[in-house]
Every structure is written in structure tokens, then in C-alpha cells.
Amino acid sequence: MTFRSRLPALLGIAHPILQGGMSWASSCAALPLAVSRAGALGVIAAGPMRPDDLVAAIRAVRAGTDNPFAVNVPLYNKRSAEFLDIAEAERVPVLIASQGGPKALPRFRAIGTKWLHVVASPLHAAKAEAAGVDAVIAVGGEAGGHPAPDEVSAMVLVRAVVKAVSIPVIGAGGVADGAGIAAMFALGAEGAQLGTRFLMTREATVHAAYKDRVRAAGIGDTTLVGRGGLPIRQLRNAFSAQVDASERAGMPAAELDALIKSRSLKDAALDGDVDWGKVEAGQSAGLIDDLPGAEELVHRLVAETEAARMRLVA
């Protein structure tokens, strides 16, 4: 890929493409290993993992490739301190922190681990830069999982974050192919992170019914559940319709919160309950209609990005 980027030198990767850390979908070794083998950055999502399983996954990725990989730790998670201890003890090459401030950064600096920080606003990005993080990942409102709470689109957010910091910015939200990656570079980002696209690979560990729903979805088939708090972007289903109806009917906030928490990503990802579970996916679900292997996908993304670049200059 011929776009200018500091990320290959910073992280030791061939291609400035990140597989987004995705609870359940990449809480394993298979997907991150395949992505890192192909020269992009594979990311183990620690969120729902048992500590022993996280250690085993880190060791399995390391056994399968000499290329760098990352562990994603959502800092609000009740086990985040334990996950950070494991990442430090295992000396992971890259740590990706989301949903919180970069407090544990000095420990990782000391062992040479690179720290990437997920941000949802230019202010948050500037604070992360001042704290000394190596790069920020700006995730726009189109994204699956927890997008920017104020719903600002990647088109606007990534541009604003690029203007706010001088460290490398990785753009995320709505990117499903090389055209989307090239768009992030056009905005001034030096790399792109893709979640939903990598969820739709053979290695991603979500139920087949989940992948079928994402494949069938159009670009307008996602919705935000839990606006006003920590919203989740998921496919519209019976559960999201129940939440919408309850909101419209004026359900008291505490009851609504309990309703939203009564269903989980696990229900959909592990048990295949795609009607009542949280089928987290981004708007880019509507751009995706196949299920390649993750290595093949990385190679395809690299070729598509180059083709998009050529289209712009020819």
C-alpha cells in the first residue's frame, strides 16, 4: 500500500489496517492470528474473556506468527486491571485501550509496548496525546458496538481528530473495503480500523445465525440502542423494537436502563439469539455480502486500497 503512514514503522506491520477488537468475535486467537499473519494488525478483544483464556490466546497468536498483534482492553470493564496485568506480563506488542483514560500507560512504555487509544472526540484525542499515547483510533457514529456517543460520523470526527493532534490517527466507522480505507487516508488518517468487515470472516467466533443476519442487512438496518448513555449500534430486531417502543411510551429511565441491560451481545454471538440478543454491527453491514477467510480479506483490502488510489489520480 503506497499511502504515506507512520504506522508500519511504529507498530512493525506491513499494512496500516487494523482488525477492530470485537468482544466475542475476536476474543480468541484464530481471527487475530490470521490478520497478523497477513501483515495487518490482529486484535484480541479481552472484554468477555476469562484471564486464563486471554493468556492462552496471546500465546497461541505468538506461536503462530512473529508479526505484531494487539490486545484490546475496555477500561470500564470490571476485570480491566487484571487484563492489563496479563498484557504487561505477556509483553504484548500493542495495547489498544478503549472507554477510559490512559492511566496505566507508563508501565507499558517501560516494556516497549505501543499504546493506541480509542477516542470519540477531538478533545479526548488531544488529552490522549498529552498523556503520551502512540496513536489514536477515532471511531465514528457509523461503527458497530459502542460508536461515538454523540453520533458524529467518521467523515467529520476523523477530520476533526486529525486537526487536533500530531500523532498518527487511525480512522474507524463505516469502512468495509479499500475505497473506505482510501477515504480515511484522504481525511488525513494514517490507517483504518475495520470491525464489522472482519466480523464477517470465517475465523470470527460469532454464531452462524449472527453472520447470516449481518450478510442480509442493508445500510439502513442498524439502530442505536441506549441513546443518552453508552449507546450500542446493532441490527434492528425484536429487541431493538421493544426498546424503541418503550422509549416512545415514556418508560422511566431506570426501567429502560434495566431493559437495555437485560439482553446482551453474548445472547446473539454465542447462543445465536439474533431476535432478542444485541446483534452488534455497523452501518457497513450493508456493504458486506460475503464471508472470506481473514488472510484473504487483508490481501483483498490492500489491493482495493491501491486501486482506489489509482482511480483518484488517473
Q: How far is the CB of 281 from ligand FMN (least distance, A)?
A: 5
Q: Which of 221, 280, 302, 305 binds ligand FMN (CB under 6 A)?
A: 280
Residue 9 vs residues 5, 12, 15, 20, 23: alpha-carbon distances, Å = 8, 5, 10, 20, 28
| Size, binding site for ligand FMN by CB under 6 A | 30
The three-class DSSP label of residue 155 is helix
Shortest approach of ligand FMN to residue 210 CB, angstroms? 8
Contact between 284 and ligand FMN per CB under 6 A: yes
Please select the residue that binds ligand FMN; options are 74, 93, 226, 286, rule is CB under 6 A: 74
Q: Among the candidate windows 106-114, 125-133, 135-143, 253-261, which touches ligand FMN by CB under 6 A?
A: 135-143
**Of 33 and 194, which has the nearer Cβ to ligand FMN?**
194
Nearest alpha carbon to residue 39 among 2, 73, 65:
65
Stretch 155-214 residues interacting with ligand FMN (CB under 6 A):
172-175, 193-197, 199
3-state SS, 258-313, equals HHHHCCCHHHHHCCCCCCCCCCECCHHHHHCCCCCCHHHHHHHHHHHHHHHHHHHH
Yes or no: say if 275 and 211 are a contact pair by the CB < 8 Å rule.
Answer: no
Any contact of residue 39 with ligand FMN (CB under 6 A)? no
Enumerate the β-bridge partners of residue 108. Answer: none
What stretch of H or E contains 78?
none
- Residue 152 binding ligand FMN, by CB under 6 A: no
**Which region among 21-29, 58-66, 106-114, 125-133 touches ligand FMN (by CB under 6 A)?**
21-29
Query: What DSSP state is assigned to residue 28?
Result: S
Residues lying near ligand FMN in the complex (CB under 6 A) are found at: 20-23, 25, 45, 47, 72, 74, 98, 118, 139, 142-145, 172-175, 193-197, 199, 280-282, 284
